[in-house]
Amino acid sequence: MKNPFTYSNIVTGPYFCNRKKEQEDLLEFIRSSQNVLLYSHRRTGKSSLIKQLFLNIKQQAPEIGTLYIDLYGTTSEKEFMSRIFQQLNVLETNTDKLINLLKSSIDKFSFQIGIDPNTNSPTITPTFNSADENLVLKNLMELLEKFSAKRKIVIALDEFQEVAKYTDADSFEKRLRSYVQHHSNICYIFSGSQQHLLTVMFHSQGRAFYQQAASYPLKQIETKHYIPWMKQLFDEGNLSIEKANLIKIVDQFKNHPMYIQLFCFFLWRELQHTPWKEEMINGIERSMIDQKHLEYQTLWDNLSINQKKTLKLILINDGQNLFAAQTLITVSIKTASVVTRCLKTLLEKEVLVKNGRYIIQDLLFKKWLILNT
């Protein structure tokens, strides 16, 4: 049997653990066309949740149209629009109808139609050469509105924080919002992980998307939900592991889905030839850290000396009380302003997140730091 645990891709179906409440909540937002801001620390399961929800909608509420747009890597308004055009075939699978709709909705710019060899469905590529971007956006947004006249649509814009990095982001956000707020039969899910960027976009007065969506921070999956899910996958492989040990694994990785998947992936492999032993927990964790050694070493080498000291300060003080003179002496930092500056940069680099106290975002990097610095 194939190892059922997977840690690098979006997971759905039996490989997706619970999140029933989150799916119910999101479905309620969708039904009432309430836009949502879905955010969390990195690799907490936002994209998987959206994909799983959309699969369920396809099966249980096919009257709702779903459109998933991954904005990762886009650097301009043009690329933003191209990503949406590429996915339009999901809303209209009939090629002729899609082409007719495009022809009747789009003026003053051209587009190419191709066929995706994997799905055999049409792909639309707008030609921007001399086209006015404002006009293309207007056409695209009107097109989406047309789709939504026939049925309710939910559009997930994943990695939405990328928009804030475009040149002219301010103007684009404003124009985008002016359409989004009139789409009364469309629910937009804005999703992303760079919390400082995303929350600034939605929570700062003066920004176009200020209060344009209900905030939905995605929390970790609860232990009581992990246990039956993990048990079932191990059982299906005829691998025996007690509930108490599963709880220890979830605890060890602070309920973080990606690390739990990664751990279980290795554990599954070991259990093929050796029965469960307590020492496996630390043994596997150690090989997970070793696997990341080069990546973490590069990250560490690229930090300034004061950023390194600040990280040590966080480890020593558990992310709290970082400015007291007495504390600064322990890591030989001269002034609190140095710490303030370094914290800001480390937050921007997403090495740290702030949640009351400062936390090293990547749990495994924290464990690596403890072992290696």
**Which positions touch Mg ion (CB under 5 A)?**
46-47
Nearer to ligand ATP, 258 or 280 (CB): 258
Phi and psi, residue 140, nearest 5°: -65, -45
Of these partners, Mg ion, ligand ATP, none, which one is at the site of residue 207 (CB under 5 to 8 Å by kind)? none
Give the burial class of 147: count Cβ atoms within 10 A of its Cβ; 0-12 exposed, 13-18 middle, 19 or more buried: buried
Residue 18 Cβ vs Mg ion, minimum distance, rounded to whole Å: 18
The C-alpha atoms of residue 293 and residue 296 are separated, in whole angstroms, by 5
**Among positions 11, 88, 197, 250, the unique one binding ligand ATP when judged by CB under 6 A:** 11
Three-state DSSP class for 38? strand
Report which residue's Cβ sits closest to ligand ATP: 45
The C-alpha atoms of residue 51 and residue 262 are separated, in whole angstroms, by 20
Nearer to ligand ATP, 44 or 252 (CB): 44
State yes or no: residue 43 binds ligand ATP (CB under 6 A): yes
Of these partners, ligand ATP, Mg ion, none, which one is at the site of residue 10 (CB under 5 to 8 Å by kind)? ligand ATP
**Among positions 4, 17, 133, 197, the unique one binding ligand ATP when judged by CB under 6 A:** 17
280 token code pair: 């496996």
DSSP 192-249: ES-HHHHHHHHHSTTSTTTT-SEEEEPPPPPHHHHHHHHHHHHHHTT----HHHHHHH
Residues 289-348 that bind ligand ATP (CB under 6 A): none
**Among positions 35, 47, 74, 89, the unique one binding ligand ATP when judged by CB under 6 A:** 47
Select the span of 5-13, 94-102, 149-157, 346-354 touching ligand ATP (CB under 6 A): 5-13
Residue 43 Cβ vs ligand ATP, minimum distance, rounded to whole Å: 4
State yes or no: residue 128 binds ligand ATP (CB under 6 A): no
Closest by Cα among 150, 136, 131 to 179: 136
The mark string for 231-270 relative to ligand ATP (x by CB under 6 A, - otherwise) is --------------------------xx--x---------
208 token code pair: 């176009």
State yes or no: residue 69 binds ligand ATP (CB under 6 A): no
Instruction: Say how many CA atoms lie within 13 Å of 319 toward its Cβ.
Output: 14
Q: Check residue 94 and report its DSSP letter.
A: -
Nearer to ligand ATP, 139 or 191 (CB): 191
Of these partners, Mg ion, ligand ATP, none, which one is at the site of residue 139 (CB under 5 to 8 Å by kind)? none
State yes or no: residue 109 binds ligand ATP (CB under 6 A): no
State yes or no: residue 223 binds ligand ATP (CB under 6 A): no
Answer whether 220's CB lies under 8 Å from 49's CB. Answer: no
Residue 3 Cβ vs ligand ATP, minimum distance, rounded to whole Å: 12
State yes or no: residue 122 binds ligand ATP (CB under 6 A): no
Closest by Cα among 257, 192, 241, 156 to 46: 192
Host H or E run for residue 186: strand 186-192
The C-alpha atoms of residue 263 and residue 364 are separated, in whole angstroms, by 11
190 token code pair: 């804005």
State yes or no: residue 48 binds ligand ATP (CB under 6 A): yes
Helix ranges (H only) for the chain are 20-31, 46-60, 77-91, 95-105, 133-150, 169-180, 195-203, 223-236, 243-252, 257-271, 280-291, 293-301, 305-317, 325-330, 336-348, 363-372
Residue 27 Cβ vs ligand ATP, minimum distance, rounded to whole Å: 16
Nearer to Mg ion, 70 or 270 (CB): 70
State yes or no: residue 364 binds ligand ATP (CB under 6 A): no
Select the span of 44-52, 121-129, 130-138, 166-174 touching ligand ATP (CB under 6 A): 44-52
Of these partners, Mg ion, ligand ATP, none, which one is at the site of residue 11 (CB under 5 to 8 Å by kind)? ligand ATP
Q: What angle do CA 211, 214, 219 make, to 5 degrees?
A: 130
Residue 256 Cβ vs ligand ATP, minimum distance, rounded to whole Å: 8
- Residues of this chain that bind ligand ATP (CB under 6 A): 6-11, 16-17, 19, 40, 42-48, 193, 221, 257-258, 261
